Amino acid sequence: MAQWNIVRTSDAVWLAPGEPREIESDLVSRFQEEYGRAASGTWFAPGRANLNGEHIDFHAGRCLPLALAHGTYVAAAPRTDSQLRMRTLDASLDDGVSTVALDQIGPAAPHAESPDPSEVAELPTGDAEHWSHYVTGVLWALRELGRTQPEFQLEAGFGADILVISTLPIGGGLSSSAALECAAMMAFVALGTPLGLQNPLQDLNAALTRENRKQLAAACVRAEVEFVGAGTGGLDQTIAMRARPGKVLSLDCRDFTVQPLDIGCILRGYRLIAVDTGEAHRLADGKFGDRRADAEAAAHLLGFTRLRDALPEKPRKADVTHVLEEFDRLAEQLESLDGRSIPACRRRLRHALTEMVRSEKLHHLLSGEAYGVRHVTSTVGDILTAGHMSMRDDAEVSFEVADLIVETALAHGAEGARLIGGGFGGSVLVLISPAAIPRLSAAFERISRNIRLLDVVPSAAAHAL
Ligand code: ADP
Ligand code: MG
The atom number, within ligand 1, closest to the CA of 224 reads 7
Tell whether ligand 1 has an atom less than 6 A from the beta carbon of residue 283: yes
- pLDDT of 90 reads 96
- pLDDT of 229 reads 85
- pLDDT of 107 reads 54
The atom number, within ligand 1, closest to the CA of 426 reads 3
* Exposure on the CB side of residue 349, measured as CA atoms within 13 A: 31
- pLDDT of 2 reads 58
154 sits in the region (left: phi over 0; alpha: psi -120 to 50; else beta) called beta
Tell whether ligand 1 has an atom less than 6 A from the beta carbon of residue 58: no
Tell whether ligand 1 has an atom less than 6 A from the beta carbon of residue 72: yes
Q: How far apart are CA 166 and CA 364, in angstroms?
A: 34
Tell whether ligand 1 has an atom less than 6 A from the beta carbon of residue 232: no
Task: Provide the CA 421 distance to its chain's centre, in angstroms.
Answer: 7
The atom number, within ligand 1, closest to the CA of 165 reads 23
Q: How far apart are CA 398 and CA 405, in angstroms?
A: 11
Ligand 2: distance of its center to the CA of 336 in Å? 31
- pLDDT of 371 reads 58
The atom number, within ligand 1, closest to the CA of 281 reads 6
Tell whether ligand 1 has an atom less than 6 A from the beta carbon of residue 423: no
- pLDDT of 286 reads 75
Which residue's CA is the closest to the ligand 1 atom numbered 7? 177
Which residue's CA is the closest to the ligand 1 atom numbered 9? 177
Ligand 2: distance of its center to the CA of 47 in Å? 9
The DSSP output letter for 169 is P
Nearest ligand (C-alpha, residue 233)? 2
Instruction: Identify which of 23, 73, 86, 93 to mutate to test ligand 1's pocket (most ligand atoms within 8 A of the CB).
Output: 93
The atom number, within ligand 1, closest to the CA of 175 reads 2
Ligand 2: distance of its center to the CA of 177 in Å? 4
User: CB-based contacts of 369: which residues, under 8 Å, 6+ apart?
Assistant: none
Ligand 2: distance of its center to the CA of 403 in Å? 21
H helix runs in 251-341, sequence order: 264-267, 286-302, 317-331
Which residue's CA is the closest to the ligand 1 atom numbered 27? 131
Tell whether ligand 1 has an atom less than 6 A from the beta carbon of residue 240: no
- pLDDT of 111 reads 47
What are the beta bridge partners of residue 401?
none
- Torsion angles phi and psi, residue 355, rounded to 5: -65, -40
- pLDDT of 113 reads 44
Q: How far apart are CA 222 and CA 140, in angstroms?
A: 9
Average pLDDT by stretches of 10, the chain with 465 residues: 77 92 98 98 98 96 98 98 97 95 71 44 54 96 96 96 97 96 98 94 92 97 90 92 97 97 89 93 71 95 97 96 98 94 98 98 86 77 98 96 97 97 93 95 92 96 97
Tell whether ligand 1 has an atom less than 6 A from the beta carbon of residue 75: no
- pLDDT of 106 reads 65
- pLDDT of 119 reads 45
Tell whether ligand 1 has an atom less than 6 A from the beta carbon of residue 425: no
Element (H, E) at 388: helix 376-393
Tell whether ligand 1 has an atom less than 6 A from the beta carbon of residue 93: yes
Entry pTM: 0.94
Ligand 1: distance of its center to the CA of 275 in Å? 17
* Active site residues per annotation: 236
Which residue's CA is the closest to the ligand 1 atom numbered 8? 171
